[in-house]
Amino acid sequence: MNNEPMIIRGKLFEWGARTYLMGILNVTPDSFSDGGEFSSIKAAVIQARRMVAAGADIIDIGGQSTRPGSSQITLQQELDRVLPVINQIRQGPDEWAVSGACRVLQDKSMRKTLAEMPISIDTTRAEVAYRAIALGADIVNDISGGTFDPDMFSVVAQKQVPTILMHIRGTPQTMQKMTDYEDLIGEIYGFLEGRIDAAVEAGIERSRLIVDPGIGFAKTGAQNLEIFRQMSRFRALGVPILVGPSRKSFIGHLLHRPTDPKGRVWGTAAACVGAIAGGADILRVHDVAEMRDVCRVADAIFRG
């Protein structure tokens, strides 16, 4: 099914033409793979520039870890983590180009490219979404599909920005105890279909919606694999599909690397190929340069 293209911050997203990459920028101290690496503004901006140079199409900024068992932070903590980074990306002065270790920062054209890059705010809180959009975020990526905060859809409808609706059961604290599905794909499909309907009823245009089956969120390793096998079924929802397999634990278990997320790059690459074969439109990844090469070859095979 061909979905209507989106224009986000002047960039055309022509679904089906190729796979788009969303680079993960966790400004958290406790994310499962890179917690603490980019928790300063300077480190976060440098990493954003690196991902842009590597070929990212979107930068996804999150201040709340959603790994299994992660603790909920306060609203103010989340705002304090994400807003300065978004502001710096959109308004950053030249003094941020001082790192001798990252010469790309000194390139004026790269600074311009980053300033024009679509930004996604990874949050379940309407207040964070509202204030992030005011500073220049373009997309809301809500792992709860708009279920954690009753005001989320009204904010998105008011601002008329694209939003990503993910499937989850429970919360990050409880989700891995809630993996008892009678019909895994059918229940995920039904949830996403219901959230699309709720979003449209709240005033969000269907053409601005993206869905995510929620790899690793209230899913066992075997269930994650089944989602990849049946990814094409979600095409019937009639909206673009985002998939986020990057460095996740099911890959670590398959590779016998349960404690080394950064050693899962090529396992992630295989999962990305599987997602593309199933019709995914966006991949949310840590390792942008490597996955850009993966996408180029997989797109040539599966998209012709």
SS3 198: helix
**Which residues in the chain show pLDDT less than 50?**
32, 93-105
Catalytically active residues are 248, 284
pTM of structure: 0.92
Helices (H), 171-264: 184-201, 221-229, 249-254
Cα(49)–Cα(61) distance, integer angstroms: 13
Nearest-5° Cα angle at 142, 231 to 132: 140
Q: How confident is the model at residue 243, as a pLDDT?
A: 98
Q: For tokens 């989602």, what's the residue?
A: 227
Residue 122 has a pLDDT of 97
Question: What is the rounded CA–CA span in Å between residue 94 and residue 292?
Answer: 28
Q: Which CATH number applies to 6-302: 3.40.630.30, 3.90.70.10, 3.20.20.20, 3.40.50.300?
A: 3.20.20.20
Q: What does the pLDDT look like over 277-289, one tens digit per residue?
A: 999 999 999 999 9
Q: Which of 40, 31, 37 is nearest to 80 (CA)?
A: 40
pLDDT at 105: 47
Dihedral of CA atoms 220, 169, 238, 291 in degrees, nearest 10, equals -50
Indicate the domain borders of the chain.
Answer: 6-302
Phi, psi values for residue 266, rounded to 5°: -80, -25
Residue 37 has a pLDDT of: 72
pLDDT at 73: 92
pLDDT at position 220: 97
Angle between helices 184-201 and 152-159 (to 10 degrees): 60
SS3 30: coil
CA proximity to 118, closest of 164, 75, 152, 80? 164
